[in-house]
Amino acid sequence: MKIIMLGAPGAGKGTQAKKIAAKYEIPHISTGDIFRANIKNGTELGKKAKTYMDQGLLVPDELVVDLVVDRVNQDDCTKGYVLDGFPRTIPQAEALDKALESMDQKMDYAIDINVPDENIVNRMSGRRACVDCGATYHIVHAPTKEEGICDNCGGELILRDDDKPETVQKRLAVYHEQTQPLIDYYTEKGILKTVDGTVDLEDVFKAITGILGE
C-alpha cells in the first residue's frame, strides 16, 4: 500500500501519517528524515544534497526524487509506505511517477486532509509555547492548568512567530500555489481521496481507515 499525504501546513498530515504507518506496519517517510539520514551516513546522495544545503540553496527536484526513490527501494518498503511532505509540486509528482513506473510500481492513494484556511489560522493562533522548556500547548485542545503558565516548569507561555496569523497566511498562500495543483493531478490519476480534517483526529483516522480498509 503506497500512500501520499496531502494537506495544508497545520492540517495534521504528519500525525495521520504516523498513525497509518503504525496500523498498517509500513514506514512513514518524510523528506526531512531522508535528508538527515543520508547526510549522517555520508552517502553519495547525502553529500550532493549537503553541498546545496550548505550554500543555503534548495535541493533540486531530481536529487530529492533520487533520495526518495532510494529510500522506497529499501527492504522495509516492500509492503508499501506513506510519504509525508513529498511530492510538493507537480514537477516532483511527475518525476516520482516516472521513477516508480520504471520499477513497475505506482502510488495507490493520495489522501488529502482537507481543512479550510480559517480553521488552520485559528488552530495555530491557539498554540502556546513555553519560553523556558519549549513545551507546547493549545488554549482549547491542550490547555495548561493555569492560563499562561507552563505545567512543566512554570515558565511563561507565548504565541510563536511561526504560529501568528500573518505567518500562517503566508505559508498557506505558498501551499495553495504549489501544492494544491497536486489535488487535480491525483484526481486525474484516479487515486485522490479527500477526508474532512476539521473533526477530531481519531475521527479523521477513522475516515482514513475506511478508505484504506481494516
Kindly state the smallest distance separating residue 153's Cβ from Zn ion, in Å: 3
CB atoms within 10 A of CB 57: 9
Strands of the chain (E only): list them: 2-7, 28-30, 81-84, 109-114, 127-130, 136-138, 157-158, 192-196
* The one catalytic residue among 160, 170, 189, 206: 160
Window contacting Zn ion (CB under 5 A); options: 4-12, 137-145, 155-163, 195-203:
155-163
Residue 26 in grid coordinates: 509500513
Q: Cβ 141 to Zn ion, closest distance in Å?
A: 18
User: First-to-last CA distance in the chain?
Assistant: 12
Closest CA to 52 of 41, 43, 64, 40: 64
Residue 32 or 134: which CB sits closer to Zn ion? 134
User: What does the alpha-carbon distance between residue 189 and residue 12 come to, in Å, rounded to a whole number?
Assistant: 24
Q: Looking only at residues 37 through 76 of this chain, which bind Zn ion when binding is defined by CB under 5 A?
A: none
Which residues ranging from 182 to 201 are in contact with Zn ion (CB under 5 A)?
none
The rounded Cα 160 to chain-centroid distance in angstroms is: 20
Q: How many residues bind Zn ion (CB under 5 A)?
A: 8
* Residue 14 binding Zn ion, by CB under 5 A: no
- Taking the C-alpha atoms of residue 162 and residue 25, their distance in angstroms, rounded to an integer, is 33
Does the annotation count 160 as an active-site position?
Answer: yes
Residue position matching grid coordinates 490547555: 143
Site string for Zn ion, 114-153 (x = CB under 5 A): ----------------x-xx-x--------------x-xx
Which spans of this chain sit near Zn ion (rule: CB under 5 A)? 130, 132-133, 135, 150, 152-153, 155
Active site residues: 13, 88, 127, 160, 171
